[in-house]
């Protein structure tokens, strides 16, 4: 939807493709044209580049925007687009290949003089090989899938004895997730922050950075909350990191939007992690503090237009926070909870942006990543952006399925988060800490009284037809009895 | 209108009469308006509350000020009277699947003793592996599924005594 | 809702008051406390300052935010608050009195050296009196209610013969709307733009301006579309107008948020019209281009805090447009259309802000101004903000009642509006022009075919229970038959 | 399934058979999903449309791409078969109130000749005075209300021959 809307705003007609699981999705509803790809599994639909190119050829499409997932970092698909004469909205297949694999990206980083975490530049082929490399780097070490992202195929290894089994697990996970079992090793930085730099490069050699995003709040190496700017990045560090990211992009001949991910330690040393060669899910926080539209810019760059501004024109203002709302249950081990949405009330108003594709009556499919919505708040200061988010989350209601909204409420009210004392293991620490007292009191609390009154009233009204509340007033006792109050309390 | 509401492990007796409600005998002034099928504007003694009704496959709850209160209605006239989640810490613990998925691995066997937080089995759904843990210690009375089984939401996986 | 949310974000508990017509309104649902004021008519509820102060005293309120309408510009109410020891979020009763009446505001403007449209400084008491004044000023002249705003009690008079009847009409309208029949005269500027300056003043003598708002698109002197910045205001004119507005506010000892309205002619001369001594409905466009939150600032100023920035810290960025969505029918003489909202789909996403108080199942009351929502778009440029708004309006669906959404679609696609060739009579010209061809064709158009197919499908499905679409898939023929397609088209 | 739809002054005969629809005899490939009670995702020959059903007190219409198409269904099996707004420019013109309000002033008398755009009467609602005009010229056959009358939505105000 984000991309479709941006394209429409530039006067571009849109063609959506969909799997059987997504026929009722909003991007199909709002597109100018829509074509079925195949059955629900991504391997038979959204990962079938050949089918997508067939459709593009048939309907005469000029360009393909690959979105955030699926084929967005697939160099072979980008190459196939190039060969078919269809613009791929992203970097060239060549740049993607250089940066897309972590192993080759690290080689490139070394060549460009970009600091990175000590580690292997080639995949570990055996346990023995891995052990030798790990000893050279020094424990603790991290295993990572060469082709991957999003935490799949990643394992932290504290000591030698754990290495062999962790390697096997990481390799099989990498194979399943990415079709390649290549796994490499690197040094584990203690309590690092995950901070990334947004870069934009046009086809005329202009490369700029749009400040940083703080993505340290992670669970299982998946980003949970993102912010811009980072509370710990000052002007000097921002310029150093930004110029480093720009140097890397230039070295790779990079075009379009990309993100250089770094680990930052307490001494403001930063280490290059990887380059994401696509638009990131968390791009809205950068848009809100820069006032720019990254999807518009992606499309303009892909069309060969030069960047309409220079580095000096970029000014950051205020603070933005994004919560990734998932269909998963924080009280039940973050188990996915797809299903029918039976009630929906979304926050809106000053400083609130929501990029979502859900609606009342939609069934969250089993088949894909269960992200429901990105809720983003903006305010002049970080403290106000947090308060705004807390109240927006209070207002947010998604009925029928479990969501991680309560997790965000817990994080946002945590003193460490409010003081920006966060690193990539912050959330694991918070979650392993004693959960906030569930206040199972002996006596009935005031809130329980209120909930009980509501429960009784809902119960008394159930069974009565009430189409979206429209007929609620007309429903009989007890709804009507209390409608008029005599004077003031 | 009279209802007994089981909430937070306690039973609250309510009687609604026009613009007053008696809560365990205490008389409170109330005013209420149904905003939609699952949203209620409730004013109790001047305090305003937005109350949301959330029905999932496993329970029924009221959400007030961002907090979720699972409940059960105990009333012969009520159609629905489910067991509130978390209510009742006595008796055997039923481990249920909260969503459809596939049983990847069964970790413990019937008759084994388990401690709180111990993993019982692994269910895969949406490409994620999830270890189902027990919240209480005890002996595994029954494992109701086998590896490779497809399970539905709410389906019983195991019972801990 | 806008104000309630901002207060919560600052950690302030909120107390809502409501009339019987508003018991189901969102501000009651979301407040911490809520008290009934009285029956639906504003004269028995929202205009009853005594009742409001009683409630405030009973519940121990510290402050009252008067919103945009009703008592927000009532000096007597502000004074009563002061006497009751309750902070009125706005200027002092004294400043309000000086600026609130147009007659005294003009005297103040003259004293402060603020340019204004030639006119009378006292109310016209008789037709003879008015005629003498009009002759002195020169026709065409404008009649205006001294106490009012929003176009009530206003009349343009082209020639002498029309003056007497126009005066009577304006006086009776003013009496009904504001309780005062005072009407004064001024020169009518030909094809002026209506441009206003937002000012902020704290209790420590700091007064700044936050740029301008372009409000020339008006119908019957009611603002319809507002933008910031104005396409015709450059840095120099902005500074001149801003400094003039600041001088006026200083002269009046003004505090809190206020708006100085000006007419601007083609030669960049500007004439002071009046000062609105409250937050304006259109404040969001200023927030989006400055990155500030005006309601937060209002509350902070009222609490005695100093402004947290100086004039030099204010930078405008991008472009914002607001559409005031009303329950009124543009195809039927803009007749109000209150009633039950039977379907609602609101746009959201990048650059879209909505401040609304409506929901599916809500009945728009008969009793008040039928504004449903303020839809605001932001984009880096005016052209993109317009495109974003056009698509947001396409996505917007309010079922069951007529709205003016189609009016905005017509304006936003008009070449004059797109080129910013607008003045206060622009919309009247557009509306009196031949309406866009209704394309009543002999043959069936493609769009009509599509609409007919949809009509048939809706018709075939009606009568079947379908709670918010949830059971749509389960409904029988023809809904199910076409669900699976064999291969690609 | 067969329906006759009156739209834009024309009657369109539709026959839906699975994933095909015949429109006045032309065969089109269609795919459709009801998103909610009044929102339809419709794909016709690969082109995607979001179709909204808008029922007001005066008419029933489909909204596609921001344009509103009032319609009437002509089918013996259909429950609702209202006269589409704007359809039928023949015969006497009924001037109806689109909302509740109060008749402030009656401007023309029965038997008077009026021209298109001429004001007939003034109705006050929400503190606004609205002049009800005729879209067609003709002779005033009837004024159905008097000054001071309260009128409901859809109530007849006047008839122009």
| Dist. CA A6–CA A458, nearest whole Å | 42
Is residue A443's pLDDT more than 50? yes
Minimal Cα distance from C366: which residue of D?
A: D126
Decide if B80 is inside a domain: no
Residues on chain B touching C30 (C-beta within 8 angstroms): 48, 50
* C244: Cα separation from own chain's centroid: 23
What is the distance between the alpha carbons of residues A463 and A33, in angstroms, rounded to a whole number?
Answer: 41
Q: Using CB atoms and an 8 Å cut-off, which of residues 387-406 of chain A contact chain B?
A: 393-394, 397, 399-402, 405-406
Kindly determine whether residue B5 and residue A456, on different chains, have CB atoms separated by under 8 Å: yes
Chains in contact with chain A (at least 3 beta-carbon pairs closer than 8 A): B, C, D
pLDDT of residue A3: 86
User: A–D: how many Cβ contacts below 8 A?
Assistant: 36
Q: For residue A43, what are the contacts with CB-CB under 8 A and spacing of at least 6?
A: none
Per the listing, tokens 């927000």 go with C72
SS3 call for A417:
helix
Instruction: Give the pLDDT of residue C149.
Output: 66
C1 touches chain B (CB under 8 A): no
Task: Find, among A19, A10, A12, A115, the residue nearest to A366 by Cα.
Answer: A19
Upper half-sphere CA count for residue A134 (Cβ side, 13 Å): 28
At residue C223, φ and ψ (nearest 5 deg) are: -65, 140
Q: Which residue has the higher pLDDT, D139 or B131?
A: D139
Residue A391: is its pLDDT beyond 90? Answer: yes
Mean pLDDT of A425-450: 81
| pLDDT, mean over chain A | 87
Task: Determine, for residues B35 and C361 on separate chains, whether the beta-carbon distance falls below 8 Å.
Answer: yes
* pLDDT given at position C437: 57
pLDDT of the residue at D90: 52
**What Å distances lie between residue A467 and B34, B38, B51, C22, C465, CA to CA?**
11, 11, 18, 20, 10
Enumerate the β-bridge partners of residue A200.
A208, A257
pLDDT digits (tens, 9 = 90+) for D16-56: 888 899 998 889 999 999 998 899 999 999 999 999 999 88
D in contact with B (at least 3 C-beta pairs within 8 A): no
Instruction: Name the residue range of residue D7's domain.
Output: 2-74
- Amino acid C210: pLDDT: 98
Beta bridge partner(s), residue D69:
D62
Q: Which of D15, D45, D74 is the last residue of a domain?
A: D74
Tell me which of C29-38, C258-267, D118-127 is least confident.
D118-127
Contacts of D67 in chain C (CB under 8 A): 447
pLDDT band at B153 (very low <50, low <70, confident <90, very high): confident
Q: pLDDT value at position C174?
A: 86
Structure tokens at C412: 């936003």
Q: Are residues D7 and D69 in the same domain?
A: yes
Per-chain mean pLDDT for chain C: 87
The confidence score (pLDDT) of residue A69 equals: 79
**Burial class, C197, CB count within 10 angstroms (exposed 0-12 / middle 13-18 / buried 19+):** buried
Residue to test with chain B: of A451, A469, A478, most B Cβ within 10 A: A451
Greater pLDDT, A204 or D84: A204
Tell me the three state secondary structure of residue B53: strand
Higher pLDDT, C336 or A289: A289
Please give the DSSP secondary-structure letter assigned to residue A23.
T
Q: How far is A432 from chain B (nearest CA, A)?
A: 12
Q: How far apart are CA C322 and CA C19, in angstroms?
A: 28
User: Does A59 sit within 8 Å of D50, measured CB to CB?
Assistant: no
Q: Which residue has the higher pLDDT, A148 or A265?
A: A265
**Neighbour count for residue A180 (Cβ, 10 Å):** 16
Angle ∠(A335,B79,A459) on CA atoms, nearest 5 = 75
3-state secondary structure of C5: helix
Query: What would the two tokens of residue C232 be?
Result: 């015709």
**Run of H or E including D92:** none
| pLDDT tens string C180-231 | 888 889 888 878 999 999 999 999 999 999 999 999 999 988 999 999 999 9
> Which position has the higher pLDDT, B18 or C17?
C17
Q: Is C188 helix (H, G, I), strand (E, B) or coil?
A: coil
Q: For the residues B95-106, what does the mean pLDDT come to?
A: 80
Q: How confident is the model at residue D96 (pLDDT cuts 50, 70, 90)?
A: confident
Q: Is the pLDDT of residue C382 over 50?
A: yes
* pLDDT of amino acid C470: 34
Q: With respect to residue D97, please indicate whether it lies within any of the assigned structural domains.
A: yes
Which of D59, D58, D160 is CA-nearest to residue D119? D160
Q: Which of B74, B108, B137 lies at the terminal end of a domain, its last residue?
A: B74
Does residue B56 belong to any structural domain of this protein?
yes
Residue of A nearest to C374 (CA): A349
CA-nearest of C113, C416, C143, C422 to C266 is: C422
Lowest mean pLDDT among B30-34, B98-102, C13-17, D155-159: B98-102
D146 and D116 housed in the same domain: yes
What are C48's two structure tokens? 């009853």
Residue C126 is predicted with a pLDDT of 87
A244 touches A114 (CB < 8 A): yes
For residue B132, give both structure tokens.
């189902």
Give the confidence band of C475 by pLDDT, cuts at 50, 70, 90.
Answer: very low
Cβ separation C380–A30 shorter than 8 A: no
Do D42 and D98 sit in the same domain of this protein?
Answer: no
Mean pLDDT of the A201-216 span: 97
Catalytic positions of C, please?
278
Judge if D51 and D7 occupy the same domain. Answer: yes
pLDDT of C438 strictly over 60: no
- What pLDDT shows up at residue D51? 95
Residue B108 scores a pLDDT above 50: yes
Q: D99 and D60 in one domain? A: no
Task: Report residue C164 CA to chain centroid gap.
Answer: 31
Nearest residue, CB atoms, A459 vs list B23, B78, B123:
B78
Domain count, chain D: 2
pLDDT of residue C405: 95
Same domain, B65 and B122: no
Q: Which residue has the tokens 């390649």?
A: A180
Task: Determine the average pLDDT of the residues in A160-186.
Answer: 88
- D138: which strand partners? D114
The pair of three-digit structure tokens given for residue A51, joined into one six-digit string: 């089918």
Q: Tally Cβ neighbours within 10 Å of residue A151.
A: 16
A453 at B interface, C-beta within 8 A: yes
Across the beta sheet with C155-157, the strand order is: C155-157, C141-145, C183-187
Kindly state whether residue D83 falls inside one of the protein's structural domains.
Answer: no
Q: Let me know if residue D81 belongs to a domain.
A: no
Average pLDDT for residues B107-132, to the nearest whole number? 80
Average pLDDT over residues A31-47: 90
**C-alpha of C20 from chain center:** 24
Listed range (A154-168, A202-216, A313-327, C252-266) with the worst mean pLDDT? A154-168
Are C384 and A1 a contacting pair at CB < 8 A? no
When pLDDT is cut at 50, 70 and 90, the band that residue C346 belongs to is: very high
Of A83-92, A266-275, C361-370, least confident by mean pLDDT is: C361-370
Give the pLDDT of residue B124: 78
Q: Are B104 and B68 contained in the same domain? A: no
Q: From chain D, pick out residues whose CB is under 8 angstroms from the CB of C447.
A: 64-65, 67, 69
Look at residue B78 and tell me whether its pLDDT is greater than 60.
no
Mean pLDDT of A40-65: 90
Count of residues for chain D? 161
| Residue where one domain finishes, among candidates D46, D74, D102 | D74
Give the model confidence (pLDDT) of A212-251 as tens digits.
Answer: 999 999 998 899 999 999 999 999 999 999 999 999 999 9
Q: What is the DSSP string of C132-162?
A: HHHHHH-SSEEEEESS--TTTT-EEE-SHHH
Say what angle helices A127-137 and A163-178 make with each other, to 10 degrees: 110
Note whether B64 and B102 are same-domain residues: no
Which of D40, D46, D63 is the mutation pick for testing A, counting most A CBs within 10 A? D46
Q: Mutual orientation of helices A93-100 and A75-84 as an angle, nearest 10°?
A: 180
Give the rounded percent of residues in chain C with a pLDDT score beyond 70.
92
- Confirm if A88 and A79 have CB atoms less than 8 A apart: no
Question: If DSSP codes are grouped into helix, strand and coil, which group holds residue B84?
Answer: coil
The 8-class DSSP code of residue C107 comes to H
Residue of higher predicted confidence among C102 and D132: D132
pLDDT at res. D87: 39
The mean per-residue pLDDT over the stretch B7-14 comes to 89
Mean pLDDT of C53-58: 91
Subunits with 3+ C-beta pairs closer than 8 A to D: A, C
Could you tell me if D65 and D121 lie in one domain? no
C109-160 per-position pLDDT tens digit: 999 999 988 888 788 888 888 898 899 888 889 888 887 666 777 888 888 8
Q: Tell me the residue ranges of DSSP E strands in A327-454.
A: 328-329, 335-336, 339-340, 343-345, 352-356, 363-364, 371-379, 397-399
Q: Is the pLDDT of residue C488 over 80?
A: no
pLDDT band of residue A415 (cuts 50, 70, 90) is very high
Cross-chain residue pair D12–C452, CB shorter than 8 Å:
yes
With CB atoms and an 8 Å threshold, state whether A391 touches C467. no
B107-121, C130-144, C348-362, range with greatest mean pLDDT? C348-362
Q: How confident is the model at residue B86 (pLDDT cuts 50, 70, 90)?
A: very low
Tell me, yes or no, whether D10 and D39 share the same domain. Answer: yes
CA–CA distance, C107 with D87 (Å, rounded to integer): 57
CATH number, domain with residue B98: 2.40.50.100
- A114 contacts A248 by C-beta, under 8 angstroms: yes
Task: Name every chain A residue with its beta carbon within 8 A of the beta carbon of D33.
Answer: 23-24
Looking at this predicted complex, what is its ipTM? 0.78
Residues D39 and D97 placed together within one structural domain of the fold:
no
pLDDT tens track for C56-103: 998 889 999 998 878 888 899 999 999 999 999 999 999 999 987 777
Confidence of residue D86 (pLDDT cuts 50, 70, 90): very low
pLDDT in tens, D3-14: 899 998 889 999
Partners of D3 on chain C (C-beta within 8 Å) are: 455-456, 459-460
In a domain, residue D142? The reply is yes
Q: Residue A44 pLDDT more than 60?
A: yes
The answer as to whether B68 is a domain residue is yes
Averaged pLDDT for residues A428-434: 87
pLDDT at C375: 97
Structural domain includes residue D41: yes
Contact D64, D44 (CB under 8 A): no
Best CA proximity match to A118, nearest among A54, A53, A185, A56: A185
Q: Which of A58-62, A436-440, C151-155, C321-325 has the highest mean pLDDT?
A: C321-325
Q: What is the DSSP letter of A438?
A: -
| CATH number of the structural domain spanning residue D9 | 3.30.700.30
- On whether both B154 and B101 belong to a single domain, the answer is yes
> In the prediction, which pLDDT does A72 show?
87
Taking an 8 Å cut-off on Cβ atoms, the answer to whether A406 and B66 are in contact is: yes
pLDDT at residue D128, as a whole number: 67
Distance from C-alpha of A414 to C-alpha of A394, rounded to nearest angstrom? 16
State the pLDDT confidence band at D69, using cuts at 50, 70 and 90: very high
Taking any CB pair shorter than 8 Å as contact, residues of chain D touching chain A are 31, 33, 35-37, 39, 41, 43, 46-48, 50
Residue C464's pLDDT band (cuts 50, 70, 90): very low
Residue C137: its H or E element: helix C127-137
């Amino acid at each position: 939807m984000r991309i479709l809307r941006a394209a429409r705003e530039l006067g571009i007609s849109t063609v959506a493709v969909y799997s059987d699981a997504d026929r009722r999705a909003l991007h199909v509803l709002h597109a100018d044209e829509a074509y079925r790809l195949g059955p629900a599994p991504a391997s038979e639909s959204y990962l079938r580049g050949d089918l997508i190119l067939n459709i593009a050829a048939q309907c005469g499409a000029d360009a393909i925007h690959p979105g955030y997932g699926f084929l967005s970092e697939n160099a072979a698909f980008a190459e196939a687009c190039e060969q078919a004469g269809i613009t791929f909205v992203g970097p060239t297949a060549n740049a993607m290949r250089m940066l897309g694999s972590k192993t080759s990206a690290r080689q490139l980083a070394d060549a460009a003089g970009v600091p990175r975490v000590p580690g292997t530049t080639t995949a570990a082929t055996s346990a023995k090989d891995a052990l030798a490399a790990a000893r050279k780097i020094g424990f603790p070490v991290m295993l990572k899938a060469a082709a991957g992202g999003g935490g799949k195929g990643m394992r932290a290894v504290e000591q030698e004895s754990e290495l062999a089994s962790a390697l096997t697990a990481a390799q099989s996970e990498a194979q399943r997730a990415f079709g390649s079992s290549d796994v490499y090793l690197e040094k584990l930085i203690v309590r690092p922050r995950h901070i990334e730099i947004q870069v934009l490069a046009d086809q005329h050699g202009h490369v700029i950075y749009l400040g940083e995003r703080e993505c340290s709040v992670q669970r299982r190496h998946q980003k949970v909350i993102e912010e811009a700017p980072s509370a710990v990045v000052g002007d000097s560090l921002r310029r150093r990191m930004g110029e480093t990211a720009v140097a890397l992009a230039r070295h790779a001949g990079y075009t379009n939007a990309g993100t250089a991910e770094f680990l930052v330690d307490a001494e403001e040393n930063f280490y290059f992690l990887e380059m994401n060669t696509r638009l990131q899910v968390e791009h809205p926080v950068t848009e809100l503090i820069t006032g720019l539209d990254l999807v518009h810019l992606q499309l303009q760059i892909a069309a060969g237009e030069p960047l309409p501004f220079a580095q000096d024109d970029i000014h950051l203002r205020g603070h933005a926070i994004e919560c990734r709302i998932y269909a998963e249950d924080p009280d039940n081990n973050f188990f996915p909870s797809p299903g029918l949405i039976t009630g929906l009330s979304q926050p809106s108003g000053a400083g609130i942006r929501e990029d979502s594709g859900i609606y009342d009556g939609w069934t969250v499919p089993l088949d894909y990543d269960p992200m429901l919505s990105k809720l983003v708040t903006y305010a002049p200061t970080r403290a106000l952006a947090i308060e705004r988010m807390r109240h927006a989350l209070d207002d947010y209601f998604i009925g029928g399925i479990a969501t991680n909204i309560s997790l965000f409420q817990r994080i946002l009210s945590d003193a460490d988060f409010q003081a920006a004392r966060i690193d990539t293991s912050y959330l694991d620490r918070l979650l392993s800490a004693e959960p906030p007292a569930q206040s199972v009191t002996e006596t009935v609390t005031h809130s329980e009284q209120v909930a009980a009154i509501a429960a009784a009233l809902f119960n008394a009204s159930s069974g009565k037809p009430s189409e979206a509340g429209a007929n609620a007033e007309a429903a009989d006792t007890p709804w009507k009895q209390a409608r008029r109050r005599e004077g003031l309390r | 209108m009279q209802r007994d509401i089981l909430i937070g492990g306690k039973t609250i007796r309510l009687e609604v009469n026009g613009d007053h409600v008696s809560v365990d005998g205490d008389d409170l002034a109330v005013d209420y308006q149904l905003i939609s099928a699952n949203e209620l504007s409730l004013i109790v003694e001047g305090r305003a509350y937005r109350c949301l009704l959330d029905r999932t496959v496993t329970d029924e709850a009221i959400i007030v000020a961002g907090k979720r209160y699972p409940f059960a209605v105990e009333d012969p006239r009520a159609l629905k009277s489910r067991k509130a989640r978390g209510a009742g810490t006595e008796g055997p613990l039923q481990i249920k699947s909260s969503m459809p998925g596939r049983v990847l691995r069964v970790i413990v066997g019937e008759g084994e003793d388990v401690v709180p937080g111990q993993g019982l089995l692994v269910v895969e759904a949406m490409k994620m592996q999830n270890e189902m843990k027990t919240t209480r210690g005890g002996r595994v009375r029954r494992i109701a599924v086998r590896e490779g089984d497809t399970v539905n939401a709410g389906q019983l996986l195991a019972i801990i005594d």
